[in-house]
A and B are shown apart, each in its own frame.
Chain A
Amino acid sequence: GAVVSQHPSWVICKSGTSVKIECRSLDFQATTMFWYRQFPKQSLMLMATSNEGSKATYEQGVEKDKFLINHASLTLSTLTVTSAHPEDSSFYICSARHRVASTYNSPLHFGNGTRLTVT
């Protein structure tokens, strides 16, 4: 149980275009989803916390107008990288926490990640 599906697994796009990444919890409902960015050989950098039905909470230094997050249902959150540039190339990974976990004391379930390359 607790499967998180992330799509696409990789994408190549041209500079200036927008890319949407989907994160779905397949067998559970997730009130909260997290979006991370990971550079090679580095840690997972928390970008934002996505809350179902409300605005996402962005970490300091993350541009909310560039990285649009929508969490319209209990099983789906999307991250849209708008007007992508080569420096946005990275590995993006989402995670979800089970809805039953009303506080933060439960594990995160991760998607497989999306490798974005902007040319």
Chain B
Amino acid sequence: GENVEQHPSTLSVQEGDSAVIKCTYSDSASNYFPWYKQELGKRPQLIIDIRSNVGEKKDQRIAVTLNKTAKHFSLHITETQPEDSAVYFCAAWKGVFGTGTRLLVSP
């Protein structure tokens, strides 16, 4: 089945810095790559997604890049804020999630 690896497992940054989280996937047929944010005790929320017909998508401070040849995609958060602190998950198209990245943004 699909295998999704995510790095790093934890990431600490100062407010205003950028944060990058990377994922690799195994199923070359995958064509949809979402990112979810999960705050403590709450459900995961979609923050951005990308389909395989584009290489990059941006939404304000958040961007996702996709390299289908290398089978990896990345989440980029610029000008981080304390409220960005949460666990972020990437996912492959058939519902398999990455291991998660705990992002801590210090004021």
Which of A's residues lie within 8 Å of B, judged by CB?
Answer: 34, 36, 41-46, 49, 59-60, 93, 95, 103-108, 110-113
Total cross-chain contacts (CB, 8 A): 55
Q: Say yes or no: A110-B96 contact (C-beta < 8 A), given A44-B89, A105-B32, A105-B51.
A: no
Give the residue name and chain of the A residue nearest to B96 (CB): A46
Using Cβ atoms and an 8 Å threshold, which residues of chain B touch A107? 34, 46, 49
Using Cβ atoms and an 8 Å threshold, which residues of chain A touch B30? 104
Among B6, B32, B95, the residue within 8 A (CB) of A46 is B95
Q: Chain B 30-46, CB within 8 Å of chain A: the 1/0 string? A: 11101000000011111
Using Cβ atoms and an 8 Å threshold, which residues of chain B touch A112? 42-43
Shortest CB distance A57–B (Å): 10
